[in-house]
Structure 1
Amino acid sequence: MNLTERRKAATQLEIARAAAALFAERGSDGTTAEAIAERAGVSLRTFYRYFRTKQDSVAPLLAFGAGSWQDLLAAAPRDLSLPDALEQAAVSALAVRDDGDVESFEWTRGLLRAAAGDPALLAVWASVNQESEQRLVPLLAERAGDADDLRVRLAAAAATTAIRVAVEAWAAGDAPADGAGSPAELAVRCMRELTAGLGR
């Protein structure tokens, strides 16, 4: 990206972080575009330059998380089996390294709880997961060698679903962001269940 594109992406991500924090704190009904813009330190006009609705504004943050997982998968050693590479990338992406990670997970928990009562917010979550699955297909095709297209697409769907279900299950409960019951621990369980047929 050029400098202008990087600045635009940085602004969108800052707005998304502010939106996620507000949805987590106040729920959907208590969050407005005006409040998100104020929290992000931008004008309401700037907010609407980038996003149509308050719900849309969280998409860059959710997509950033999915992109991090895919980057880790792309960098995984080539001698790892596909299931092992998927699992290791998921664990690394969902690991808690500092207080900032804990805060991000709490935003995610609050955001997904808010989405349960907001169809538009739930649609953004579903859309980000669908886009993540589509971006995963060429990554898996490259690693899978001679695997046919159907198998690669099923693997992408299974891996994306494993992460989604793990994060949703964690968000619905009260487990900490790290350790037993964490997103990373649940992702491993889901991944192993859904990729069991891929071989090791």
Structure 2
Amino acid sequence: MSTQQPPSSLTERRKAATQLDIAHAAAELFAVRGPDATTAEEIARRAGVALRTFYRYFRSKQDAVSPLLAAGADRWRALLAAAEPGTGLLRALEAAVEQSLAAPDEEAAGALLRTRGLLRAAEDDPALRAVWYRVNQESEERLVPVVARLADGRLEALQVRLIAAAATDAIRIALETWAGTDADVTGDGSPSTLALRCLRQLLGGMEGRVAADE
């Protein structure tokens, strides 16, 4: 699967903006009431759209937050895709993970805290948890061609897939672990610190091959 491209036409941009408005409305209501006590009608009303518009874009109220959960994956994959082949795959992975999970401003910190809230809500909501797993699976699939390009033919297809899976799981596990704590968005126990630790441990067995081009 190729990397996701930003909306190009005005119609696509408007569609993406509407989806994001709905996602923010859902996340806000989930944070206050929880998914069980929130209805699709309430989400649509808060987002300022008709209920039929809501269901045009999303299958369920839980599915409505998928754009927010996917945003971080899209950002870090874009950072990795911007790296040039030959810069060192392991180094590129670490830099992209660290930068994407950093919180240099209020907007970035708010996005991480919103993700924490959704992951906490997902603990008691199987449907929301399924959305989270689906977002991660899709991210892993989109990451494969990015890793393959950076590997520049030096790794087998199986190794490329393993690296994409490991990198995706490193971020997923780090965010889930962080969500279960009260650690800040920066410093010890932060998402970026945990993700780098997970990445290095998961790729430890392939360190020689991954770092061979560095």
Category of TM-score, reference length = shorter chain:
over 0.9
User: Shift in Å at residue 193 of structure 1?
Assistant: 0.6
Partner residue in 1 for 2:184:
176
Partner residue in 2 for 1:150:
158
Partner residue in 2 for 1:125:
132
* Identical pairs, percent: 61
Distance of aligned partners of 1:149 and 1:79 in 2 relative to their CA distance in 1, 3 Å threshold: closer
Partner residue in 2 for 1:159:
167
Partner residue in 2 for 1:198:
207
User: Shift in Å at residue 44 of structure 1?
Assistant: 2.0
Partner residue in 2 for 1:38:
45
1:185 counterpart letter in structure 2: T
TM-score, structure 2 as length reference = 0.89
In the alignment, structure 1 segments of 5+ residues that lack a partner are none
Partner residue in 2 for 1:53:
60
Partner residue in 1 for 2:117:
110
Secondary structure, aligned partner of 1:131: helix
Instruction: For residues 62-96 of structure 1, give each alpha carbon's deviation from its aligned partner in whole angstroms, at most 9, with x where no partner exists.
Output: 12221111000011243432111111101111111
Higher alpha-carbon deviation: 35-44 or 114-123? 35-44
What is the aligned-residue RMSD (CA, Å)? 1.3
In the alignment, structure 2 segments of 5+ residues that lack a partner are 1-7
- Quick one: distance in 2 between partners of 1:130 and 1:81? 25
- Whether contact under 8 Å (1:24, 1:108) holds in the other structure is no
2:124 counterpart letter in structure 1: G
- Whether contact under 8 Å (1:24, 1:109) holds in the other structure is no
Partner residue in 1 for 2:106:
99
Q: Once superposed, which parts of structure 1, at least 4 consecutive aligned residues long, lie more than 6 Å away? A: none
Secondary structure, aligned partner of 2:124: coil
- Whether contact under 8 Å (2:84, 2:150) holds in the other structure is no
- Quick one: distance in 1 between partners of 2:101 and 2:148? 23
User: Shift in Å at residue 149 of structure 1?
Assistant: 0.5
- Quick one: distance in 2 between partners of 1:45 and 1:70? 32
State how many pairs are aligned.
Answer: 200
Instruction: For residues 37-63 of structure 1, give each alpha carbon's deviation from its aligned partner in whole angstroms, at most 9, with x where no partner exists.
Output: 222222222212211210110111112
2:182 counterpart letter in structure 1: D
Instruction: For residues 146-188 of structure 1, give each alpha carbon's deviation from its aligned partner in whole angstroms, at most 9, with x where no partner exists.
Output: 2110000000000000000000000011101111111111111
- Quick one: distance in 2 between partners of 1:58 and 1:41? 16
Partner residue in 1 for 2:5:
none
